[in-house]
Amino acid sequence: MAPGLVEQVAHIPAEETKKSAKSKSTSLNYVPGRTVYKSHDESYEFEHLRPHFPKVTWPELKEVPYHDKGLEGHPEFKNLLRSATDVFDYNPKIGTEVHGVDLANLTDAQKNDLARLIATRGVVFFRDQKNFDINAQRELGQYFGTLHKHATTSTPRQEGLEDVHVVYAGEKSPDLRALFTPSFLWHSDVTYEVQPPSYTSLKVLTGPPRGGGGDTLWSSQYAAYDMLSGPMQKYLEGLTALHSAELQAEGTRKLGRTVRREAVVTEHPLVRTNPVTGWKSLFFNPGFVTKIVGVPKTESDHIISLLNEIVATSPELHVRFQWNAGDVAFWDNRATNHSASYGFAPHRRHAVRVCCQAERPYLDPSSKSQEEDLHERYGVPKATKDGSGVVNYND
């Protein structure tokens, strides 16, 4: 059952027990790359949230009104952070962790600040949210907008939670990484919808112990846009991309499951403006973009390849989060991609996700990039992107 260690009591001779007692205070039970495996009995606390694939069909999504609550948030997030005991960024481009805030008991002003912070930082992490059960998670999601119901992925066994997406890998789940290229695993959720999501929460209910794997990574699309040269930015701003749900639907049918809503293919701008920050971002999805519209296939394929490389392989765009049970991540799908990581078998990983439909993606040509805005406000140096200079890279 590697790489886990089953939590069992082995027979230890009496003389070894005496030796162990003497050394217990000075030694640790450490085996490199191995973590203790926890079994889950029939009284599993989250049985009602285990995955279910209902055999129902739904009509196509209709456009719904959307008002971004982040526009009402305080520019310095004072309402949200007044109860915080600590707040820190993971790196300059993306990722912030907040301590001391109970997501289940926020005022409306704090919720607005939360939305603004998520839109600004891409993803925000909260540890050990014991009070933030599935009802509180849905309630907060509904405050931000109309909850999205996924057409193919699993929903909880409990009825009435069809707008909750279940992430579940059990003890016997196969490791599927060989079926995908590494860049393909990077994605932004359901961008093929006419109104792709904005604010999305994921709470891990049960997961590997520390060091057991199952981390999630996010990549900033604000920063991805800023990595491009000025001419390339302008070029991409004039293009659109096709986002397709067809591959997802096809895989669901092959598994013998019901596609609850017919697959759609939607055309979105390749660069969009976030209404809260006013920043331009790439709006590219390695998992769902199939074609760049209006250019030859060779050109389309090369644009997709270039953007895949930027999203998946640029460390300064990335943040990596190591989960504990009860932790919550809140991210803005408009401004980030994310990727799961494998290698946590045989541990169970169980999480629930809630997201809301946002505005139709749009580009405001007068909007700024994250780099431009931070340079003007704080004097943060702009990156040199002309490729000039002499380089001698040595470790």
DSSP state letters, 303-326:
HHHHHHHHHHH-GGGEEEE---TT
Of 118-127, 200-209, 382-391, the least confident: 382-391
What value, to the nearest 5°, has the Cα angle with vertex 261 and ends 301 and 245?
A: 10
Q: Is the confidence at residue 350, as pLDDT, over 80? A: yes
pLDDT mean over 312-337: 97
Average of per-residue pLDDT values in the chain: 91
Strands (E), 136-278: 155-156, 165-169, 197-206, 216-220, 240-244, 265-269, 271-273
What pLDDT sits at residue 247? 93
Task: Note the pTM of the prediction, 2 decimals.
Answer: 0.92
Name the residue with tokens 């891990």. 204
Of 174-188, 249-263, 305-319, the least confident: 174-188
377 vs 173: CA distance, rounded Å: 49
Q: Is the confidence at residue 1, as pLDDT, over 50? A: no
Q: Is the confidence at residue 295, as pLDDT, over 70? A: yes
Tell me the range of 10-19, 260-269, 337-346 where mean pLDDT is highest: 260-269
Per the CB < 8 A criterion, the answer to whether 197 and 377 are in contact is no
Alpha-carbon distances, residue 383 vs 39, 230, 372, 375, 386 (angstroms):
49, 12, 10, 10, 9
What pLDDT sits at residue 26? 56
104 vs 114: CA distance, rounded Å: 13
291 vs 298: CA distance, rounded Å: 10
What pLDDT sits at residue 21? 47
Q: Where are the domains of the chain?
A: 71-378
Structure tokens at 284: 């590219």
Residues annotated catalytic, as ranges: 187, 189, 338, 353
- Rounded to 5 degrees, what are φ and ψ at 109? -65, -40
What pLDDT sits at residue 11? 33
pLDDT mean over 41-52: 90
Strand bridging mode 368-369 / 279-282: parallel
Percent of the chain with pLDDT over 90: 80
Residue 88 neighbours by CB distance under 10 Å: 9
Q: Is the confidence at residue 6, as pLDDT, over 50? A: no
Q: Helices (H) and strands (E) in the chain — how many of each?
A: 9, 20
For 241-278, how does the pLDDT look when each residue is reduced to its tens digit (9 = 90+)?
999 999 999 999 999 999 999 999 999 999 999 999 99
DSSP, collapsed to helix, strand or coil, labels residue 146 as: coil
Which is more confidently placed, 171 or 144?
144
Q: Is the confidence at residue 12, as pLDDT, over 80? A: no
- From the options 3.60.130.10, 3.40.50.720, 3.30.420.40, 3.40.190.10, give the CATH code of 71-378: 3.60.130.10
Structure tokens at 43: 């009284």
Q: Is the confidence at residue 19, as pLDDT, over 90? A: no
- Quickly state the pLDDT bin for 38 (edges 50, 70, 90): confident
For residue 32, the 8-state DSSP code is T
Q: Is the confidence at residue 10, as pLDDT, over 80? A: no
Name the residue with tokens 């092959």. 254
Residue 83 exposed, middle or buried by CB count within 10 Å (0-12, 13-18, 19+):
middle
The terminus-to-terminus CA distance of the chain in angstroms comes to 38
